[in-house]
Amino acid sequence: MATLNPATRDPVRAALAPLLAAHRAAHPGSALPGSAEAELRHGYAVAERLHRGQLRKSGAPYITHPLAVALILAGMGLDTTTLVAALLHDTVEDTPYTLGEVRAEFGDEIAVLVDGVTKLDGRRWGDRAEAETLRKIVLAAAADLRVLVIKLADRLHNLRTLRHQPEHKRARYAKASHELLVPFADRLGIHVLKREMDDLAFAARHPAAHEATRRAVRTALGQAGRTFGPATALLRTSLAEHGVKARTQLRQSHLYAVHQSFGGDLAGLRPCEAARLLLLVDGGESDCYIALGAVHAALHPVAGQVRDFIATPKDNMYRSLHTRVIGPAGDPFEVIIRSEAMHPVAEYGIVAHIRDAGGDPATAVAGRRDLVWLSRLLAWQPDAPSAEFLDRLRADLAAGHVAAFTTRGAMVPLPAGATALDFAYALGPGTGDRCIGAVVNGRLAPMSVQIRSGNVVEVLTDPAGAPSEDWLGIAVSVPARVHIQQRLALRRAEEDADAGRRRLVQALAERGVDLLAAEARGDSLAVARDLGHTEIDEMYAALSTGAVGLGDLLARFTGP
């Protein structure tokens, strides 16, 4: 008599089998804690029970979504705690389960992760819900980046199943993904997520262009052997002659990247325009530079087309050498060189660091230079009202990358198009407020000069300097613009308060009332608070702008 497979008898084990297998596969050679399976079984059982009866738009049981999110994260090597949180990530939002119950049943760490990705109630927050939910995720990510990683995996699976949504919702959701979530994946260096999210959002927003790009790339790659085969053979010989061990991979460019490069002009797309060659060097940094020499010895290099992201990593700590060469058939293509040790970070970014942190992934990334952008975001976000937060966040995330340097050699990351004024504010608000110009590469320059990668910048300041309205036409970076707007608003409020007070002083003097004496007695503050102001300067400013009438104030100060 045939015996039943244990997984068949246990539906929880059957459902979890792919997740457990992926979790073990991502940690070869290091045994997972014995409690890992029990924790995942518990998380799945609770999530399945709470979501039971709920269906996705596809008609599939809702539990398939959190399970898929957990599977994406397991494939990247995330820890058991993160996977349990992924299984539970929609329970507080979509079921009667409370955050307190999560904390009591699973502990504080998982509760923090679940809370971080839980949307705010649209009925309570109204039009502010989307902006404030994203602000909440950013604030939670500052304490534990796994919150943002879970959110990205959640968005990836929703994009994979977006075809089941109405057409108008598909386009809107994909647009938001391109503008807000994909840039987060890029800032965190998680390129495996970025590439797939890019292509899925592209397919939803522009299906005809996506299909045309897919066909063109497929046709081009059908001829890849003719372009890359002879070049790869020459490279292998040259690498051996230079004593470098390396393996080669043909890397297809993702479809959205091809679309951005060529738009609708895809006729005759060549293999060298649809793929790049990746060299993974078995060795250290010096071996990568030797490999670069071997590449240039075998294939003619294109002048000025070497980019060194090893000596100067990107903001997200991506490290590789990029060079453009001419193949034997005359086709120019890009070669990327990195060590085997650099490869996980190039693909998984911050996740590779979280994974390597072992027992304390929540704090392993504290103080990292690749998270300076998050510190800047946290610095300006409190001053951004809900109505402006998303627009400012889009602008901040959409900005390209420029790496400039102080005279002491410290790197200052800036958005593309940034000026010396942006550089000054990147050094600190005090420096920015007093900026009057700069010395760029040893030459005097106005604060409006555009900074380029590699520039060495010294900021010139004046102790009496202060922001002016004109600066909003110079500053490009969101933190600088927010600070300038804040300072200008504060100055206008001070000027309004001064003008309003002078007006009230004169009007009261004509009636024999000394405003200074009234302020000393506390009468002015009492009147201000009766009118709903916390400070007397707010009341004076309201008088200047017309929000408060002079007659009303006079009556309150002089009595009936």
Question: Cα separation of 198 and 226, whole Å?
Answer: 29
What pLDDT, on a 0 to 100 scale, did the predictor assign at position 29?
Answer: 62
What's the whole-number mean pLDDT along residues 479-507?
87
Which of 116-130, 134-148, 292-306 is predicted with the least confidence, judged by mean pLDDT? Answer: 116-130
Say yes or no to pLDDT of 485 above 60: yes
Say yes or no to pLDDT of 366 above 70: no
Contact call for residues 437 and 420 (beta carbons, < 8 A): yes
Q: How confident is the model at residue 235 (pLDDT cuts 50, 70, 90)?
A: very high
Contact call for residues 51 and 62 (beta carbons, < 8 A): yes
Say yes or no to pLDDT of 513 above 60: yes
Tell me what percent of the residues of the chain surpass a pLDDT of 90: 48
Q: How confident is the model at residue 358 (pLDDT cuts 50, 70, 90)?
A: low
3-state SS class at 295 = helix
Residue 177 and residue 228 share a domain:
no
Contact call for residues 73 and 82 (beta carbons, < 8 A): yes
Give the CA diameter of the chain. 109
What pLDDT, on a 0 to 100 scale, did the predictor assign at position 5?
Answer: 54
The set of residues, in sequence order, having a beta carbon less than 8 Å from that of 463 and lying 6+ positions away, is 434
Tell me the DSSP string of 453-491. Answer: TT-BEEEEE-TT----GGGGGT--SHHHHHHHHHHHHHH
Rounded to the nearest integer, the mean pLDDT of the chain is 87
Give the Cβ contact number of residue 205 at 10 Å: 18
Which of 260-274, 374-388, 450-464 is predicted with the least confidence, judged by mean pLDDT? Answer: 374-388
What pLDDT, on a 0 to 100 scale, did the predictor assign at position 313?
Answer: 85
What pLDDT, on a 0 to 100 scale, did the predictor assign at position 11?
Answer: 76
Contact call for residues 302 and 325 (beta carbons, < 8 A): yes
Contact call for residues 552 and 544 (beta carbons, < 8 A): no
Q: 242 — phi, psi (to 5°)? A: -90, 0
Q: How confident is the model at residue 397 (pLDDT cuts 50, 70, 90)?
A: confident
Question: Cα separation of 530 and 285, whole Å?
Answer: 69
Q: How many domains in the chain?
A: 4
Say yes or no to pLDDT of 1 above 50: no
Tokens of 259: 């679309």
Residue 52 and residue 162 share a domain:
yes
For residues 356 and 171, which has the higher predicted lDDT (pLDDT)? 171
For residues 32 and 237, which has the higher predicted lDDT (pLDDT)? 237
Q: 10 — phi, psi (to 5°)? A: -115, 100
Residue 442 and residue 324 share a domain:
no
Q: Which of 291, 323, 351 finishes a domain? A: 351
What pLDDT, on a 0 to 100 scale, did the predictor assign at position 531?
Answer: 84
Q: Which of 205, 231, 248 finishes a domain? A: 205
Residue 305 and residue 431 share a domain:
no
Residue 301 lies in a domain: yes
Beta bridge partners, 487, equal none
Helix ranges (DSSP H) in 188-301: 191-205, 207-221, 224-241, 255-262, 271-274, 285-298
Q: Look up the CATH number of the domain holding residue 52.
A: 1.10.3210.10
pLDDT per residue as tens digits for the range 330-353: 899 999 999 999 999 999 988 988
Residue 243 lies in a domain: yes
pLDDT per residue as tens digits for the range 445-461: 999 999 988 889 999 99
pLDDT per residue as tens digits for the range 295-319: 999 999 999 899 999 988 887 888 9
Closest CA to 459 of 415, 414, 405: 405
Residue 185 and residue 47 share a domain:
yes
What's the whole-number mean pLDDT along residues 471-487?
89
Residue 178 and residue 112 share a domain:
yes
Closest CA to 543 of 496, 507, 510: 496
Residue 446 lies in a domain: yes
Q: Which of 185, 205, 225 finishes a domain? A: 205
Residue 345 lies in a domain: yes
Most confident of 117-131, 149-163, 544-558: 149-163
Residue 292 and residue 177 share a domain:
no
Closest CA to 302 of 274, 327, 268, 271: 327
Q: 403 — phi, psi (to 5°)? A: -115, 100
What is the extent of the structural domain holding 454?
Answer: 399-476
Residue 4 lies in a domain: no
Residue 412 lies in a domain: yes
What pLDDT, on a 0 to 100 scale, did the predictor assign at position 270?
Answer: 92
Residue identified by tokens 């920015």 is 432
Beta bridge partners, 438, equal 445, 459
Rg (CA), the chain: 29
Residue 167 and residue 84 share a domain:
yes
Q: Look up the CATH number of the domain holding residue 421.
A: 3.10.20.30
Residue 364 lies in a domain: no
Contact call for residues 116 and 147 (beta carbons, < 8 A): yes
Supply the residues annotated as catalytic.
93-94
Contact call for residues 250 and 228 (beta carbons, < 8 A): yes
What pLDDT, on a 0 to 100 scale, did the predictor assign at position 32?
Answer: 67
Q: 308 — phi, psi (to 5°)? A: -105, 95
Question: Cα separation of 441 and 446, whole Å?
Answer: 13
pLDDT per residue as tens digits for the range 178-190: 988 998 998 888 9
Question: Cα separation of 543 and 493, whole Å?
Answer: 11
Q: Letter for the amino acid at 121?
A: D
For residues 282 and 513, which has the higher predicted lDDT (pLDDT)? 282
Residue 161 lies in a domain: yes
Residue 44 and residue 191 share a domain:
yes
Residue 90 and residue 134 share a domain:
yes
Give the Cβ contact number of residue 486 at 10 Å: 15
What's the whole-number mean pLDDT along residues 66-73?
96
Beta bridge partners, 334, equal 324
The set of residues, in sequence order, having a beta carbon less than 8 Å from that of 59 and lying 6+ positions away, is none
Residue 163 and residue 50 share a domain:
yes
Q: How far is CA 508 from the centre of its chain?
A: 55
Residue 305 and residue 161 share a domain:
no
